[in-house]
Amino acid sequence: MNTTTRYILLVIFLVIGLHSILSFTHEDYGRATSISNIAAQLPWSSSSSTLEDIPDSYYISPETNVTGGIQAGKANATLLMLARNSDTDSAVRSIRELEDEFKKRISNVVSGEVHFGEIPHDHWYQPDWIDEEKATAARKKMEDDHIIYGGSLSYRNMCRFNSGFFYRHPILQNYKWYWRVEPDVHFHCDIDFDPFAYMQENNKVYGFTITMYEYLATIPTLWETVQNFIKENPQYVAENNAVNYLSDNGGSSFNLCHFWSNFEIADMDFWRGEAYSKFFDHLDKTGGFYYERWGDAPVHSIAVSLFTRKDQIHFFDDIGYEHNPYTHCPRGPGKWEKGKCSCNPDHSFDYDGYSCMKQWDRIQ
């Protein structure tokens, strides 16, 4: 190794060492020079140009009288959780983590009333018309292929329920909006704004925090089934929709991108509407929830992307959210600080190789 090369390597090591020390000892420097912050400044990043900010009018300071402020825009909404008896401890952790700050700041949105409901038999269990021999063979093959939940019948029941039945439950009939919360999830920022009022007053239908690819082996015929429905019902396809988030070729094929539905804030009137009702019935009749392993995430994502305008879908960058193993941490200018977030932006899933955030960015 010649002298020039040695000096170059020495300088590189010194720069890296100094950067590491400053990142560790100076939090502001660390955030400013983080990969996520640098990426946010690049031309193709949406964080500084296409992220839709929550207006300050939807935020409430600790001093705000809860009988004023956004009270006039209060939405008919609920937090919704599907849980087993065995999920009690993790369910309590999720609700406590979400509600402690949320309830304190906007108690006019989160009431103390809690309803418990049992799922009707026909909404949960596999229908009698499913060919059990065919379904069993499909589960066995997926299990042999080591596909997650591939051999599980209860998981398929859950996906079908979340796709086409939860919003029909009697205890939800008095509500329009819901925020899906799952056991053992984590919220890493103060949520001191009203997402329901924002969605309602800005004509939104669906909100998400994480988007990713689906496993192709679980939905091999889903897109073909969707295409058949569209051919028969073109009137339901919205103008200026988000098909180019779902597809890289204008809808000829599905790129597997979907919104991770363990977090979703949405309008149940959309699911109850004619377009989605007929769409779900069309999917359900094929048996794909049981002969394959269709999830509610791609089903919901495809529907809102095709049957609403793309500007009716909202990315909640402001909400720091974790569902193991993935985390979304706010990346928009000032949002990490405004939310007093505890998550590390460098660990945000947004531009991980398995994330579909770039596909969402490109249609903004």
CA–CA dist 75, 95 (Å, integer): 20
Residue 138's contacts (CB-CB under 8 Å, 6 or more residues apart) are: 290, 291, 292, 293
Q: What are the CB-based long-range contacts (under 8 Å, 24+) for 17-21?
A: none
Is residue 177 within 8 Å of 314, Cβ to Cβ?
Answer: no
* Residues labelled as active-site residues: 264
Query: Cα–Cα distance between 6 and 15 in angstroms, integer?
Result: 14
Determine whether 8 is exposed, middle or buried from the number of CB atoms within 10 Å of its CB (0-12, 13-18, 19+). exposed
Distance (Å, whole) CA 355 – CA 33: 22
Q: How far is CA 159 from CA 124, 177, 226, 290, in A?
A: 9, 20, 17, 10
- CB 142, CB 306: distance < 8 Å: no
What are the Cα distances from residue 244, in Å, to 39, 52, 257, 361? 23, 19, 10, 10
* Angle made by CA atoms 241, 223, 308, in degrees to the nearest 5: 20
Contact call for residues 117 and 167 (beta carbons, < 8 A): no
| Other beta carbons within 10 Å of 110 | 20
Please say whether the beta carbons of 111 and 198 come within 8 A.
no
Cα distance between residue 281 and residue 319, in whole Å: 33
CA 87 to chain centroid: 21
Amino acid, single-letter form, for residue 297: A
Nearest Cα to 295, choosing from 163, 127, 135?
163
